[in-house]
Amino acid sequence: MRRLVAETRLHPADLVLPLFVKEGLTEPAPLASMPGQVQHTEESLVEAVRAARDAGLGGVMLFGIPQVKDASGSQADAADGILQRALRAARAALDEGLAPGAATPVLMADTCLDEFTDHGHCGVLTSIGAVDNDATLARYASMAVAQAKAGADVISPSGMMDGQVAMIRDALDDADLLDTSILAYSAKYASAYYGPFREAVDSELKGDRKTYQMDFANAREGLREADLDLAEGADIVMVKPAGSYLDVLRAVADRSDVPVAAYQVSGEYAMIEAAGANGWIDRDRAVLESVTSIKRAGADVILTYWALEIAGWIK
Ligand code: PBG
């Protein structure tokens, strides 16, 4: 009876699996703070992308970790940079023959500098060490074009620079990449829940991102950011993190006329895994409850590290 009358139902196609790929790895490297997740080699990344396709997931989101980081994040838009190489390999794997009735997951790329800079900030810095918004926009535009050319269907600016969506749309259009979409990290909060992600991308960040990510005290500001991204041409707007921001998610979903995404981030994953491993909560039930709640609050698209596992459960 509960199943018959449920208002909210998860489907594998709702789910996007974030994946990390690290240059120069010979074996997948498990992440201590994200049990069950790894930094992939280029080969194991392709296997994971195939598994996502076979599970019927809606998409995969790729993050690249270069061997060499520098102040401008020069590997971020290099044609042979790790993320572009991974995108090309993933594209080729996804374009292999599909079973009848099967669909190809959407190939998404994180469009941000923090994985590529030696200081770990999402942008390039001024001489006094502040993030330089406009200089960073030029870097994002170049990254977006490199990612799209490497086969990404969706460019995902996550750095919270002002004007990033408009800048990227213009750059894609100028390069004749008219069919490439933009998933905007619109309402992205400066959050403690990104902690384990720093391990996942070998981040060197000292300090915080409070000059460009939002204050968790503010909901209205999140709506304003979403409105700006919609006006600049975002194809999907995202709220991040998810679980502590379901109010913001509901409000964005109520006013957005494009699909809305939510990112259940590394810390949300780590908390449930840790409590489950200690026997303090029923892990599997908590996983389903947390992700279903995100959909109930208005997300059309959910990024979650449990995407593959959940797809297996609900198939
Ligand atoms: C920025 C980015 C971050 C995450 C996704 N994209 C880190 C940050 O903004 O500090 C976090 C994802 C997670 O914690 O799972 N490239």
Q: Ligand 1, from 37, 112, 269: best to mutate by most atoms within 8 Å of Cβ?
A: 112
Domain that holds residue 38: 10-237
Distance, in Å, from the CA atom of 52 to the CA atom of 308, rounded to the nearest integer, reads 6
Query: Is 308 domain-assigned?
Result: no
Kindly state whether residue 288 falls inside one of the protein's structural domains: no
Kindly report the backbone phi and psi dihedral angles of residue 152, in degrees, each rounded to the nearest multiple of 5, phi listed first: -70, 135
Question: Which atom belonging to ligand 1 lies closest to the Cα atom of 193?
Answer: 14
State the pLDDT at residue 204: 81
CATH number at residue 49: 3.20.20.70
**294 in any annotated domain:** no
For residue 106, report the phi and psi dihedrals to the nearest 5 degrees. -75, 135
Predicted local confidence at residue 315, as pLDDT: 76
Stretch 159-172: mean pLDDT: 97
Choice among 11-20, 91-100, 162-171, 218-227 with the minimum mean pLDDT: 91-100
Return the number of other C-beta atoms located less than 10 Å from residue 69's C-beta.
22
24-67 pLDDT, tens per residue? 999 999 999 999 999 999 999 999 999 999 999 999 999 999 99
For residues 42 and 27, what is the distance between their CA atoms, to the nearest angstrom?
10
Q: Is residue 144 part of a domain?
A: yes
Write the pLDDT tens digit of every residue in 79-106. Answer: 999 999 999 999 999 998 777 777 899 9
> 56 has which bridge partners?
none
Q: Is residue 120 part of a domain?
A: yes
Enzyme catalytic residues? 188, 240
Judge whether residue 212 has pLDDT over 90: yes
Average pLDDT in the 71-81 region? 97
Q: What is the pLDDT of residue 44?
A: 98
Average pLDDT over residues 199-223: 92
More confident residue, 252 or 207: 252
Determine which residue's CA is closest to atom 6 belonging to ligand 1: 158
Q: Cis bond leading into 241, ω under 30°?
A: yes
pLDDT of residue 153 exceeding 90, the answer is yes
User: Which is nearest to 308 in space by CA: 47, 102, 93?
Assistant: 47
Mean pLDDT of the chain: 96
Nearest alpha carbon to residue 267 among 285, 240, 289: 240
- Residue 293 above 90 pLDDT? yes
Q: What was the pLDDT predicted at 37?
A: 98
Q: Is residue 197 in contact with ligand 1, taking CB distance under 6 Å?
A: yes
DSSP bridge partners of 65: 22
- Whether 227 is in a domain gets the answer yes
- Side-chain-side CA neighbours of 277 within 13 Å: the count stands at 10
Asked if the structure places residue 41 within a domain, the reply is: yes
In the chain, pLDDT over 70 holds for what percent of residues?
100
Query: Tokens at residue 196, please?
Result: 């384990």
- The pLDDT value recorded for residue 97 is 73
Which mutation among 17, 140, 158, 266 tests ligand 1's pocket best, with the greatest number of atoms within 8 A of CB?
Answer: 158
Number of residues in the chain: 315
Burial label, 8 (beta-carbon count in 10 A; 0-12, 13-18, 19+): exposed
What's the pLDDT at 131? 95
Question: Which residue's alpha carbon is at the smallest distance from atom 1 of ligand 1?
Answer: 158
Cα of 178 vs centre of ligand 1, distance in Å, is: 27
Instruction: Count CB-CB contacts under 10 A for residue 286.
Output: 16
Q: Is residue 154 part of a domain?
A: yes
The count of structural domains within the chain is: 1
Relative to the CA of 205, which ligand 1 atom is closest? 10
